Amino acid sequence: MVWYFKIWTLVLKGLLLFMLPLILVVIILEKAFSIIQKLIHPITTHLPQEGIFGAGMLPLLAIVILFFITLIAGVWIEKKKVKTIIPFLEDKLLVLIPGYTLLKSRVNEVFGDLDSKCKSVLVGENDQWKFGIEIERNENGYSMVFFPDPPDAKSGELKMIKSDSIKILEVSMSSLTNLIKKYGLGSTSLIK
């Protein structure tokens, strides 16, 4: 591969897999903050004129309101009725966000959500083994496995593989992705 093609590939990956989601989150938070400030602007005459820690009362109040809105949204998401809507949203809308599924699995892992079906695995092919993430397993004896590529572990290859050629690792997905980011350095400690 020509060196400049590799550079452009890395630039595009960085743009699409890192910068775009980050910019979208910043834009959404900025827009939410702006809307809240406009809604509470009429009560600014009743707020003290001096700020706290160098910030005015209006932005601080907007931050507090945004915090409570997200807290209420978090409580609302835990409701049983809402949990039935979330898979529909994920299938139709959220899959369009690059790296969403991998990020969701890592968040579930951090917060101890055992419903996460993704597992760290080793897949054997012709006396060679490859690290992967089992996305799902069906009753016909096949598994969908994502093979992340270094250095970012967000892009890679997706394959349907016979489940009997897969060894499930007792390793968290974050540990596996960190291992892949280091080009496999330290992988011998995972294999028993």
User: From CA 143, how far away is CA 139, in angstroms rounded?
Assistant: 9
Q: pTM score, two decimals?
A: 0.46
HEC letters along 121-154: EEEEECCEEEEEEEEEECCCCEEEEEEECCCCCC
- Residue 56 belongs to domain spanning: 3-82
Q: Is the distance from CB of 108 to CB of 116 less than 8 angstroms?
A: yes
* Residue 105 within any structural domain of the chain: no
- Number of domains making up the chain: 2
- Is 73 found in the same domain as 124? no
- Is 123 found in the same domain as 78? no
* Residue 69 within any structural domain of the chain: yes
- Residue 2: other Cβ atoms inside 10 A: 7
pLDDT digits (tens, 9 = 90+) for 124-169: 877 788 888 888 888 888 988 888 888 777 778 888 888 888 888 8
Close Cβ partners of 73 (under 8 Å, ≥ 6 residues apart)? none
- Is 74 found in the same domain as 7? yes
Looking up residue 170, the CATH number of its domain turns out to be 2.30.30.140
pLDDT of residue 114: 44
